[in-house]
A and B are shown apart, each in its own frame.
Chain A
């Protein structure tokens, strides 16, 4: 796929990878629903569903290896992100948090899976969608819990703050709750995946380009590949971390919406 894109740049010397390397053409004709990220998203849904359906199918008291693996991930999200952050009402949100975590994690990991090698979340659209879902969920939860007016009032006029401070705090709070949170949530994920993938492209395409250069450059290219490999491991860490952070923040926002005071 990448070579297809980069073929346009052949014979013009090394073109550093840029945002345009993320714009992959549709696979079938001009249908914008057949691009690689879209296939990857559906692939991730299938993979995650199949894996967890198989793992949870038996629900045995003494788990098989597969069930244990599935349960480990589930328990990590359920207890580590749900119960410990949200508190006693956490069970309602576990399906959402679990879906969020696995969905982001697998799509991120696609960035370093051989042959796939494209982190879906480096396309900002997917990150936006997830942030919008979280935005809807935590506001909905807050409104359901406190009632619409009280919820909005609590956001605008944080209780326990001296009145003059509202001049400063009220706009900040409104900005935080309705703009900053969803924006940072999506952009953090997107930017990490985007930058990580770009970094890998630089080292691996750069190494490839060096290999086609003079003999001295050929000798350097292994270093570029080596760093590319190191970066791949680094990316693995970042990809897991970003999935975790996104889910953790969602849980925190829900917990904040449920809390009686902000």
Chain B
């Protein structure tokens, strides 16, 4: 019966006229939902977003820092490596120079030694020659005197005169040899 009445009433219905009950209920329901959203849902979602942003940002910052550290370590190692290379280069150079100087020194020393030995040899040869000349002169003198005395038959006992004669004789000999 109510339905029939209702249908009859509804013939005059204007859909643009709101029902008071619906206005009230709509407002109340919406405000209720708004309060729930504002007090609980939105803050919680925002909390999750913030936490997530922080987590991501923190991770990125950590990664960035690690990368920076690695970069720094790499530069350091490269520096050290090049420094070591330079050092090795310097050492090699030094060693080369030193080696060369040592060789030079030794060469000079050897030359000096050789010169010294040569000089000594020369000196001893000269001395021996001198000695030989002296002894030869004496012997030749004696022989010549003996020979001469034998020939002349007269002993030239005066030593000084004897030697003078020999010297003169030898000088003449040398002169004639030249």
A residues contacting B by CB (< 8 A) are 4-5, 7-9, 19-20, 22-23, 25, 32-33, 35, 37-38, 41-42, 44-45, 48-49, 52-53, 55-57, 59-61, 63, 67, 70-71, 74, 78, 91, 94-96, 98-99, 102-103, 123-126, 128-130, 133, 187, 190, 194
| A45:B22 contact, CB within 8 angstroms | no
Total A-B pairs in contact (CB under 8 Å)? 140
One of B19, B20, B23, B37 near A52 (C-beta < 8 A): B37
B10 at the interface (CB under 8 A from A): yes
| Complex Cα spacing A48 to B32, Å | 11
| Complex Cα spacing A74 to B32, Å | 18
**How far apart are A194's CB and chain B's nearest CB, in angstroms?**
6
Also in contact, A71 and B34, with CB within 8 A (given A124-B15, A125-B23): no
B41 at the interface (CB under 8 A from A): yes
| A103:B22 contact, CB within 8 angstroms | no
Question: Chain B residue with minimal CB distance to A62?
Answer: B52
Within 8 Å CB of B7, what residues of A? 5, 8-9, 20
Within 8 Å CB of B17, what residues of A? 124
| A63:B21 contact, CB within 8 angstroms | no
Beyond A41-B29, A71-B49, 6 extra complex contacts between A and B, CB < 8 Å: A5-B3, A8-B8, A32-B21, A38-B25, A78-B45, A123-B18
Within 8 Å CB of B2, what residues of A? 25
Prevailing SS type, chain A contact patch: helix
B115 at the interface (CB under 8 A from A): no
Could you say which of B6, B18, B41, B46 has the most chain A C-beta atoms within 10 Å of its C-beta?
B41
**How far apart are B166's CB and chain A's nearest CB, in angstroms?**
132
Question: Chain B residue with minimal CB distance to A49?
Answer: B36
Interface hits, B16-62 → A, CB 8 Å: 16-23, 25-27, 29-30, 32-34, 36-38, 40-42, 44-49, 51-52, 55
13 pairs, CB–CB < 8 Å, chain A vs chain B:
A19-B15, A25-B2, A25-B3, A32-B21, A38-B22, A44-B33, A49-B33, A52-B41, A56-B48, A63-B48, A74-B41, A78-B45, A124-B18
Within 8 Å CB of A59, what residues of B? 44-45, 47-48, 51
Question: Chain B residue with minimal CB distance to A121?
Answer: B26
**10 closest A-B pairs (Cβ-Cβ)?**
A125-B22, A20-B10, A125-B18, A8-B7, A56-B44, A129-B26, A95-B38, A59-B48, A126-B26, A52-B41
| Complex Cα spacing A103 to B2, Å | 32
| Complex Cα spacing A22 to B9, Å | 12
| A61:B37 contact, CB within 8 angstroms | no
Within 8 Å CB of A22, what residues of B? 13, 15
| B22:A61 contact, CB within 8 angstroms | no
Question: Chain A residue with minimal CB distance to B25?
Answer: A38
B4 at the interface (CB under 8 A from A): yes
| A99:B33 contact, CB within 8 angstroms | yes
| A74:B33 contact, CB within 8 angstroms | no
B11 at the interface (CB under 8 A from A): yes
**How far apart are A243's CB and chain B's nearest CB, in angstroms?**
13
B residues contacting A by CB (< 8 A) are 2-4, 6-11, 13-23, 25-27, 29-30, 32-34, 36-38, 40-42, 44-49, 51-52, 55
One of B11, B13, B29, B45 near A74 (C-beta < 8 A): B45
| Complex Cα spacing A22 to B16, Å | 12
| A95:B6 contact, CB within 8 angstroms | no
| B44:A19 contact, CB within 8 angstroms | no
Within 8 Å CB of A94, what residues of B? 42
Within 8 Å CB of B51, what residues of A? 59, 61
**How far apart are A132's CB and chain B's nearest CB, in angstroms?**
8
One of B13, B26, B33 near A125 (C-beta < 8 A): B26
Within 8 Å CB of B45, what residues of A? 56, 59, 70-71, 74, 78
| A95:B42 contact, CB within 8 angstroms | yes
| A32:B19 contact, CB within 8 angstroms | yes
One of B27, B32, B40 near A53 (C-beta < 8 A): B40
| B29:A128 contact, CB within 8 angstroms | no
| A71:B48 contact, CB within 8 angstroms | yes
**How far apart are A152's CB and chain B's nearest CB, in angstroms?**
26
| A53:B29 contact, CB within 8 angstroms | no
